[in-house]
Structure 1
């Protein structure tokens, strides 16, 4: 018994040591230098914290029981749990030095210390009469729960514990209401980035949970350089191979999907605005195309639906009334037949004036019609008045339509005072004014008056030279057996199409002119450009095509791909499945630490004449052409190395793309081929990661 008492006394005194040390670290940690062994203890905090939680809660339960033996056991468990709580609190305080700060950390820290203090208070005064024990033990259980809640927020994100309850409903966002950052970019950052870069946990001095932190960047510089993905650390880090130390998110965290990577890249390219709406993007912009698939075109409306009888009564042979989409209370109205148009019929629309959001009066004779009836349509968003002979004075009735966003008045000859009247329609965001008769001065004044609107004055190509669209290439498939037909076309019939099959840039003079379908008979990089008088030559159409060639008997890799870039091993190199331009698509073998070394076994008397290697190039992701390519041919007894050709290296940052390396093989008989591709050992000085080791990515090898 004395021995037990001595242990109890030691543990009791140790409690005051833990509490005192915890208070010292809490108030003086900024002036202390934490040695490496103690940093290891700090990082053990998530590992050991579960033990004291269980012990303290178990002690709370036992201390409530009436059995004295169980109460005594509870006291011992409480003493042990309190000591483990002290160690856990100290470990947490040491860990807090590694990039954690903010209000969540403060709550977690002081609630942890409070848990230690309460455990000590209950232990030393557990024999007090009255409600002391009940109140303090319930308070301890609540304090432990809150400590765990704030700890989970630190490591897993805000409201991690209650997330399943709080996020049952998915927010409906209509395309017209969607914002690029708020609804496309922010959800990605919240899901994949903010857990490590937020209030309470600021790794790399970077906060991503508020706009100020995103704009400021971290210790390595600006996170985002608007319009320049190559200089933006965000884009650089997410495109690094997953095994890279600087790749984000870290490889033990959930990775970005291909769509998420594309959204972040396109957002930065488009200027990384924090306020831009999706509808303000050009309709042909890739980011808008992604958004149109992501968000519904079905805008939600709060007003009541019109009665079916009213809609049925208004529908006739010259007027159609329909919901803008099935089930919507919003209505669109269109008039047809100029000769049958009766201006007095416009008054009939008053029965559905609350529900009309689109009104099409194109080609109706409105020159003598009072458009004042439109003021009764509070939710009108789109008005079509093309070729209706309306005058500027009639358009003054539109000023009070607060929801009018799209106005089309093309084909109407407008008077000089039209600029003054239209300039007051500040609510309009898209204005169509083809063939309006406005001179250049009037157009400029209107553009200044409606500076936030997109105004389409129609096409005027005087003195302007535009680039051609690239040619369209039609083909069956990327891999072919003996030969494959390529058909080129261009919407401008007078355009000439020039092409190459060796990966070089076509020019307007020396490159072959396309006249008939092209028959490809070997592996190569195909490029085509369009040229025409009074036009700028198009950007090239680029494609890589592969002749399937000889099927090996077997093959063997000396090393697997590095990290997660192992695809299906050597089989991936001969499966005729082309990888995507994203290196994480699962079809690529990536090599960084070790070279690609492959031995191929062939049938006898079936020696190929050339070998082609399909590679990926993406300088942003450290993926370069190989530094050296070595090829041997031979049989069971001898090997012959073919002469090396110097590899052409990248000289600048470019978009992700495919490449092909083709090498001739000797005319001798052989039944084995050995290939060795060495990754670039040091990235060049112009690259942001200069000096780092590069990657080689391969997805297909073909023998012909």
Structure 2
């Protein structure tokens, strides 16, 4: 034991060496160039840090053992363990500070760094004041133990995620997103990032200055460029890196990490190819695309029914002006029966459905007066899963009959007053997964009783309208095509049948007073832009939804490009602008002319007898891919031997990144007969400061010119 004093003296002095180096890195780390050999030392931090944790916690335990003070040899051993632990703590702090210079940042890093410093300093203070006071030593040891645990917790959060420690005891919320509600980014793409990418690109650890745990940060990209450029696989860092050979240094994920599956790689690639839209619903994706086919497999598939198909002629005969009976899908034998039209309803007609009762999985009788009608026959329908009886004036006995249907998974009886006995009947429906009880006259106590009695059922009670106002969702626009010859039918719909849908056809924002109310399908015979909003008393109006419609125009006698598009986006040249084919919402589809270095400049020669009233320009906007509205539109007419500029306007510019979309700019030209027309579209020269690519050149994309 005689060798301990000299060793202790050396180790005590060594503490101040680690303290000095660590202080220099802490104060001036950002301005110091760390050599590569020292980076190797920094990366030993995860290895070294286990030694101080064990040794210091062992030293803490020794502080509470009185017998150690009575035994000189044990006392020297405890002292030696303390000093070794403190030195390893100093080494760990120094290595950690060096490692933190490699793409680590954020609040979690700061917490881990300063608690690590605290462990080093508290341990050193306790060691050098060990003979000062036993109470001080014991109190300080407890503080040290807590600080060690906190430093370890935040270190684990950096490497494994914030919920790593408590994940086994935190119950996971079950997610049951279905295909109709799924969003491509949130429900398909983001989970891939979370499982394969987040560990290196998150708050606290930001490899390549790229964060994927925050959408805004993801859009900014990293130090090597934009993470995704919608529709451009070559410029998107994501698709560049995931397709590199595994041996390449820049391949992502790194070869020592869990790799993307072939399906995941394809999903990411197809998402970028489709525009990398952040709020795109899966059902809006082309069902024939690889993106839809692969993504749709991740959600609850349509149920497979084993019963036989009903006779098609029989089903057809059941359809009339007050009732529809239709398949769940073309490939499914399951049927959905719906009644509408109160005046036309005949209770006896319900018995007609007995012929196909085996195939009916859903019956819709919303707002049909059912008072006094015997509904017991529904108990014999073997596959009835969904029953919609909202606002049908049900009485207590009818609700009790319904509660005995054993196959029901979803029941909607909103707008029917429920008695205490009716509630007892509903409590017997333990197989229900959804129960809708809006405006059912229930007290808070009755609602709580239903919640407790049906714990596995999602119950919707609606809202009580006591100062809480909810926004409506957008109306839905249905139109067969965008480009048409003579006329086009457009339909609007909304899932809440009582709302007012108001619309405009000139691209202006609809209002709740002056804009026409949608009642019947709209027929249009000229180009324009429809905007629609939903309104209802007690609700916030919906956001507007828009759609363009374009009437095919006059074909010029001759046409030519006075400026050439980018070689990557040249489509079919000048013919692209007059082929009567509307380009898809994807600038890589080969149907668009793209310009960035110079304006798009087109010249057309017309028949002298042609009169022009309106000029329309079909454009594509996608801010994520640097595609903006033109900064200026110039239109010139050649009349009476000279060129005259008749349009010189600046379209409204984008103010934020939105989804990829088509737009139509129209100009009225007073029924003129020019010999020639020139149109010039100027791309934005410098992207605005709010854009991740601020200062870069923008693009103009055009696919049709409409002369009417």
Report the TM-score when normalising by structure 1. Answer: 0.48
